[in-house]
Structure 1
Amino acid sequence: MLISASKTKCMTTSKTPLRCMLVVNDQIIHRVTKFKYLGIEISGFGDVENEVREQTTKTLRIAACLNENIWRNKHIGIEAKSRIYKATVRPIMTYTVETRPETAKTKRMMETAEMKVLRRIAGKTLLDRDVNEWVLSRKKWNEHMSRMDNNRLVKIVGDKSPLGRRSTRRPRSIIAAYESWLVSHESCR
């Protein structure tokens, strides 16, 4: 087997930069800190977050290309859209996932990208919340308020209902309210 020293590069993997020299046929092999292999950037410092960020960006780009024709198409069912997602989009995101270490941050990045695509498929936004989750959170908040001391401002405000009636006119602007407050305080001096 012949090795071309001009085309070959070497990389060391370490948290701290190492100096090493590789020589083949009296030619020094060029040392690099990162390189692309099959579309994935491999870093000598074990920085997988950039790799995951690139893959999630590619995934979201591909999903955006399918947005008009597939995800927003009302004639295609959600099951079919989900099969298209699993066959075309998910493999881009999970490419080389078996060979890299998994951290909490990389997990979160991949989950976030997947949820963005799944929300597009379902036609939901971040503002669309499950009603049951909202009801549960309200119940928890009410229980929390009932355990508070009676002198806490949140409990006082939560127990009171507003006094009087609101005017039917448009509310005054903040600037006008501030100017009238200044005038009233100027006359008190």
Structure 2
Amino acid sequence: MGINGTEEAQGAAKSTIQIDGLNLKRVDHSKYLGEMVEEDGSMGREIKHRIQCGWNNWRKVSGVVCDKRVPVKLNGKVHKSVVRPAMTYGLETAPLRKVEERKLEVAEMKMLRWMVGVTKMDCIRSNYIRGSLKVTEILKNIQESRLRCYGHLLRRNECGKTGNGDGNRGKQTQRKAEDQMEGCCSKRYEGETSRRGRGIGQNSMAKSH
């Protein structure tokens, strides 16, 4: 009885979290800023949700992408504009595992096969299907998004902050921007003045003749 009571007490302590006197129930996953966050740090639920969103968008445009009268390249453009953004939304900062990456590849490849009207029984390589639709691998697209996001963070740290973490624009950077603005304005003013001077000289010469 003592052991069972201790185990029940430990389970109750783990099942709730107390913040400011309020008991909050402990859960294994939650939704934060549109993304599914799991307790163990995995992205299984988020990947499942992303795949479902991709299929929902694909069904909306299935009348176009599955039409034989529509060019194949146009189908690829529709897929890249409508379906893929829904599947890769928010994944530029997600720590994906090999299993989760494989799920994304399989789901997208199934959509592409439906678009060109083939199945696995036709024994057509995935590279050939992607080449005909002009669609790259979804993992390469995610990698490009990660590099783009990393570049934004680098430029933000270099131009927008001084590195002290207070969130204010640095005086040195602000002073540099003001100097550049003054230089551009002075050059523009000098150019307009010189053009006006040349115009006045030409008018005076024409009147003298």
- Give the structure 2 partner of residue 62 of structure 1: 57
After TM superposition, give the deviation of residue 58 of structure 1 in Å.
2.2
After TM superposition, give the deviation of residue 124 of structure 1 in Å.
1.4
Which residue of 78, 97, 100 maps to 1:103?
A: 97
- Give the structure 1 partner of residue 18 of structure 2: 21
Q: Which runs of 5+ in 1 are unaligned?
A: 1-16, 132-189
After TM superposition, give the deviation of residue 20 of structure 1 in Å.
4.5
After TM superposition, give the deviation of residue 31 of structure 1 in Å.
4.6
- CA deviations on 1:22-49 (whole Å, 9 max, x unpaired) are 22xxx52735422223443222222311
Q: Report the secondary structure of 2:120's partner residue.
A: coil
Matches within 5 A, 1:1-189: 20-23=17-20, 27-28=21-22, 30-33=24-27, 34-67=29-62, 69-130=63-124
- Give the structure 1 partner of residue 128 of structure 2: none
- Give the structure 2 partner of residue 5 of structure 1: none
User: Structure 1 residues 92, 32: CA separation in 2 closer, same or farther (over 3 Å shift)?
Assistant: farther
After TM superposition, give the deviation of residue 18 of structure 1 in Å.
8.3
After TM superposition, give the deviation of residue 57 of structure 1 in Å.
2.1
- CA deviations on 1:68-106 (whole Å, 9 max, x unpaired) are x11221232111111111111001111121222111100
Compute the TM-score of the two structures, normalised by the length of structure 1: 0.51
Question: For residues 121 and 130 of structure 1, what CA distance do their matches in structure 2 show?
Answer: 14
User: Structure 1 residues 103, 18: CA separation in 2 closer, same or farther (over 3 Å shift)?
Assistant: farther
Question: For residues 115 and 41 of structure 1, what CA distance do their matches in structure 2 show?
Answer: 24
Question: For residues 19 and 46 of structure 1, what CA distance do their matches in structure 2 show?
Answer: 19
After TM superposition, give the deviation of residue 114 of structure 1 in Å.
0.8
Compute the TM-score of the two structures, normalised by the length of structure 2: 0.47
State how many pairs are aligned: 111
Q: Which runs of 5+ in 2 are unaligned?
A: 1-13, 126-209
User: Structure 1 residues 104, 38: CA separation in 2 closer, same or farther (over 3 Å shift)?
Assistant: same
TM-align CA RMSD: 2.4
Question: For residues 130 and 48 of structure 1, what CA distance do their matches in structure 2 show?
Answer: 31
Question: For residues 72 and 20 of structure 1, what CA distance do their matches in structure 2 show?
Answer: 51
Percent of aligned positions with the same letter in both sequences?
Answer: 25
Larger helix percent:
2
